[in-house]
Amino acid sequence: MLLLLLASVIFYSFSGIFGLLILGALTVFNYYTGIWIEKSENKNFPLSIAVILNIAVLFLFKFYNFFFTEVNSLFSIFEISISFPMLQLIMPVGISYFILQAIGYNVDIQREMQSPERNFLVFANYFLFFPKALQGPVDRPRLLMPQFYEQKDFDYSRITSGLRLVAWGLFKKLVIADRLGIFVNEVYGNLHDYSGPLLLLAGFFYTFQLYADFSGYMDMALGVATILGFSMFRNFNKPFGATSVTDFWKRWHISLSTWLYEYVFNPVSLYKRNWVYGGWYLLFSLLFY
Amino acid sequence: MNHIEILNQINTIFRRVFENDSLHIQMETSADDVDEWDSLNHTVMIVEVEKHFNIKFKLKEVLSFQNVGDMVNIIHSKVTSA
Q: pLDDT tens digit string along A7-20?
A: 888 888 888 888 88
Question: Distance between CA atoms of B29 and B37, rounded to whole angstroms?
Answer: 11
Ordered DSSP codes for A230-266: -------S-GGG-SSHHHHHTTSSHHHHHHHIIIIIH
- pLDDT tens track, chain B, 82 positions: 888 999 999 999 999 998 888 889 989 998 888 888 888 788 889 989 999 999 999 888 888 888 999 999 999 999 888 6
Q: Burial code of B22-57, b = ≥16 C-beta within 10 A, e = fewer?
A: ebebeeebebeebeebbebbbbbbbbbbbeebeeeb
CB pairs A-B closer than 8 Å: 31
Taking the CB of residue B59, how many other CB atoms lie within 10 A of it? 13
- Count up the domains in chain B and report the number: 1
**Which positions in chain B touch A285 (Cβ < 8 Å)?**
39-40
Burial class of residue A212 (count of CB atoms within 10 Å of its CB; 0-12, 13-18, 19+):
buried
Question: How far are the Cα atoms of A48, B28, B32 from residue B71, in angstroms, in the given order?
Answer: 29, 11, 16
**Which positions in chain A touch B40 (Cβ < 8 Å)?**
282, 285, 289
pLDDT over 70 at A280, yes or no:
no
Q: 3-class DSSP state for residue A206?
A: helix
In this complex, do A270 and B60 lie within 8 Å of one another by their Cβ atoms? no
Q: What is the CATH number of the domain that holds B44?
A: 1.10.1200.10
Per the document, the length of chain A is 289
pLDDT tens profile A140-167: 888 888 998 988 888 899 999 999 999 9
Taking the CB of residue A123, how many other CB atoms lie within 10 A of it? 21
Q: Give which of A268, A139, A162 is closest to A224, Cα–Cα.
A: A162
Residue B35 is part of which domain span? 3-81
Q: 3-class DSSP state for residue A129?
A: coil
Question: Distance between CA atoms of A204 and A2, rounded to whole angstroms?
Answer: 46
Question: Distance between CA atoms of A217 and A29, rounded to whole angstroms?
Answer: 29
pLDDT over 70 at A216, yes or no:
yes
Crossing angle of helices A95-110/A120-127, nearest 10°?
Answer: 130
* pLDDT > 90 fraction of chain A, expressed in percent and rounded: 38
pLDDT over 70 at A65, yes or no:
yes
CA distance B45 to chain A (A): 10
In this complex, do A266 and B39 lie within 8 Å of one another by their Cβ atoms? yes
